[in-house]
Chains A and B, each alone.
Chain A
Amino acid sequence: MEDAFLMIVTMASATLRVATPLVLAALAGLFAERSGIVDIGLEGKMLGAAFAAAATAAVTGSAWLGLLAAIAASTVLSMIHGFASITHNGNQVVSGMALNIMVAGLCPVLAQAWFRQSGQTPMLGQQARFGPIELPFAAAVAKVPVIGPLYAQVISGHNILVYIAAIAVPLVGFIVYRTSFGLRLRAVGENPEAVDTAGVSVSRLRYQALILAGILCGVAGAYLSTAHNAGFIRDMTAGKGYLALAALIFGKWKPVPTLLACLLFAFADAVQIRLQGVPVPGIGVIPVQLIQALPYILTVFLLAGFVGKSIAPRASGIPYLKER
Chain B
Amino acid sequence: MTATLALDSAIAPPNGGRWAIEAIGIDKWFGSVHANRDVTLRVAKGSIHGIVGENGAGKSTLMNILYGYHRADRGEIRIDGKTADIGRPADAIALGVGMVHQHFMLVENFTVLENVLLGAEGGALLADGRAKAHAELERLGRDYGLEVDPDSVIEDLPVGIQQRVEILKALYRGAETLILDEPTGVLTPQEADKLFHFLRVLRDQGKTVILITHKLREIMDVTDRVTVMRRGAVVADLATRNTSKEDLAEQMVGRKVKLGGDKAPANPGAAVLEVQDLHVADDHGKPRVRGVSFNVRAGEIVGIAGVSGNGQTELLEALGGIRPAASGHIRLKGREVETRRPGLTARVLRRMGLGHVPEDRHRMGLVHGFAAYENAVLGHQDAKRYRKGWLLDRARMVNYCGDWMKGYDVRPDNPLLEAFSFSGGNQQKLVVAREMEHTPDVLLVGQPTRGVDIGAIEFIHKRLVAMRDAGKAVLVVSVELDEIMALSDRILVMFDGRIVGEVSPETATERQLGLMMAGIAEAT
Contacts and interface: CB of A to CB of B under 8 A. Distances in A.
Given A178-B126, A180-B124, A180-B126, A195 B88 contact: no
Contacts of B108: 190-191, 314
Nearest to B110: A187
A194 B123 contact: no
A190 B109 contact: yes
A187 B101 contact: no
A182 B107 CA distance: 14
A179 B129 CA distance: 11
Contact of B69 (A178, A322, A324): A322
Contact of A195 (B70, B119, B123): B119
Contacts of B99: 197
26 contacts: A178-B126, A179-B126, A180-B117, A180-B123, A180-B129, A182-B126, A183-B117, A183-B126, A184-B118, A187-B107, A187-B110, A190-B108, A190-B109, A191-B105, A193-B105, A197-B67, A197-B101, A198-B105, A198-B118, A198-B169, A199-B120, A200-B90, A200-B118, A200-B119, A314-B108, A323-B31
Interface residues of B, number: 36
Given A187-B110, A322-B70, A197 B105 contact: yes
Contacts of A183: 114, 117-118, 121, 126
Classify the interface of chain A: helix, strand, loop or mixed. helix
A49 to B, nearest CB: 28
Q: Which residue, A178, A181, A184, A199, has most C-beta atoms of chain B within 10 A?
A: A199
A196 interface: yes
Interface string A305-324: 00000000010000000111
Interface in A276-324: 314, 322-324
B93 interface: yes
A198 B127 contact: no
B91 to A, nearest CB: 8
A201 B89 CA distance: 9
A199 B119 contact: yes
A180 B30 contact: no
A200 B169 CA distance: 14
B125 interface: yes
Contacts, number: 82
Interface string B127-157: 1110000000000000000000000000000
A197 B105 CA distance: 7
A201 B70 CA distance: 13
Interface string B4-39: 000000000000000000000000001100000000
A186 B119 CA distance: 12
A51 to B, nearest CB: 35
A41 B89 CA distance: 32
B106 interface: yes
A199 B89 CA distance: 5
Contact of B89 (A181, A184, A197, A314): A197
Given A194-B106, A198-B105, 5 more contacts: A180-B121, A187-B114, A190-B107, A199-B92, A322-B70
Contact of A199 (B31, B90, B107): B90
Interface in B187-213: none
Contacts of A198: 89, 105, 118-120, 169
Contacts of B110: 186-187, 190
B210 to A, nearest CB: 16
A177 to B, nearest CB: 8
Contact of A194 (B115, B124, B126, B420): B115
Nearest to B420: A324
Contacts of A199: 88-90, 92-94, 119-120, 173
B282 to A, nearest CB: 13
B105 A194 contact: yes
A196 B117 contact: no
Q: Which residue, A191, A195, A322, has most C-beta atoms of chain B within 10 A?
A: A191
Contacts of A184: 118-119
A187 B107 CA distance: 6
Contact of B30 (A193, A314, A324): A324
B92 to A, nearest CB: 8
A41 B231 CA distance: 46
Interface in A37-59: none
Contacts of A181: 124
Contacts of B118: 183-184, 187, 194-195, 198, 200
Contacts of B107: 186-187, 190-191, 194
Contacts of A196: 69, 89, 105
B216 to A, nearest CB: 28
Contacts of A194: 105-107, 115, 118
B218 to A, nearest CB: 24
Contacts of B173: 199
Can you list the 3 inter-chain pairs with the closest CB atoms, starting with the nearest?
A198-B119, A199-B90, A180-B121
